[in-house]
Structure 1
């Protein structure tokens, strides 16, 4: 089953890849690796803001992380000239969670992105990962995730 078909089964349509908000590029292709810049938690309604441990639940944070994963795939699609069949695997996700100093469940939040990658990509979605806390994130976002993908 194609990635696009799997996404459709999950009820997900990839948005247009978000444009950078500062002086950087959305992705860099080096050999067979696509390095995608950090994607903040946003959906069609805008930036998903909040601070885990204060005004946002783990479940809401995981949903915000899933939104980051969707944006990461949108960037990958752009990098692959619209052809997601060029993807071999997800290599690594780097997750940042806007949280209070005493919040310790960053991995549970970033699971929202990890679980989505596996649901959308099967075994090719399994990856190495980091999940760390941040005192704040750009635009007040709840989550930011960057990624490395390998192409065939």
Structure 2
């Protein structure tokens, strides 16, 4: 699976079959992530106030829409390891926002300016989903989220 322009391409390596999913907004796509269970994919759009669409996989039914994470484009997104309950995204210019979502409830958990230049990647720690790393032009930044206590 990969993106180009406003299409997600699904390539079956064993058969060479290629299928497509078009951008819901008609604009370009900025990032793509696969849920740890492989039952969902997240597709981040470009454009004015772009959204992140969560689709079931392999059925490609639109399941959730995440709004308000960035102004013009998403540069990267990733699901949290293990249960995949959260998604972290980073926006491109002009805001460069790091947003962590509870995607099942379409809710923002954390939102912060990540840096003042391009961010290329964000990732959760494999051992502790409350720790994230972002990297971009001339910077690597470590983040620690305050997670709610479990009852």
Under TM normalisation by the shorter chain, which class is it? under 0.3
TM-score with structure 2 length normalisation? 0.26
TM-score with structure 1 length normalisation? 0.26
Q: Which has the larger radius of gyration?
A: 2
Between Structure 1 and Structure 2, the one with more helix by share is 1
Between Structure 1 and Structure 2, the one with more strand by share is 2
Higher relative contact order (CA 8 A, sep 6+): 1
